[in-house]
Amino acid sequence: MDYNIELTEQPSQPVLSVHIKTGVDNLPRELGRAYGTVIHYLNEIGKKPLDVAFAAYYNTDMDNLEIDAGFVVSEPLSGKGEVKAGEIPGGKQLSCLHKGPYKDCDKAYNAMMQYVEENGYEPTGVSYEFYYNSPDEVPESELLTKIMFPLKG
């Protein structure tokens, strides 16, 4: 699959998220729980997400993933309990859209890493995935996931 990789400059975006440490086998359940927790809190304070659900991946250890899962919000908001306020940092970033099963996202990651190497960019080490639909809504072949790498410098 050919990926259209884009370089953009983005402002920082405020988020509410839940921090997760889990193995890849428990990831769907843990993400669902985290998103539900954030949505419950947003409803409690009368706010709505600004965008689709996201996950920030801080490592690639499939047995012990470290992730923030939540939603971009329209303004900085206070967290509560396990719901933490934070931000997706502004600056230069690479992104591409993957269509298909989550298990095939590694192809998009590989294409992005090749682009990084060929163009002399340096990622921060955190990757973001934005989920535009879910397996509950569409067949796996129709899943849309935007992958984003913030860049240093």
Q: Which of 118, 121, 130 is nearest to 150 (CA)?
A: 121
Give a yes or no: residue 1 inside a domain: no
User: pLDDT tens across 90-112, in order?
Assistant: 999 999 999 999 999 999 999 99
The verdict on residue 61 lying in a domain is yes
Q: What's this model's pTM, rounded to 2 decimal places?
A: 0.95
Residue 2's pLDDT band (boundaries 50, 70, 90)? confident
> Is the residue at 88 inside a domain?
yes
List, for residues 14-62, the tens digit of each pLDDT value: 999 999 999 999 999 999 999 999 999 999 999 999 999 999 999 989 9
42 lies in some domain:
yes
CATH number at residue 39: 3.20.80.10
Domain membership of residue 81 as a residue range: 6-150
Query: Tens digit of pLDDT for each residue in 62-86?
Result: 999 999 999 999 999 999 999 999 9
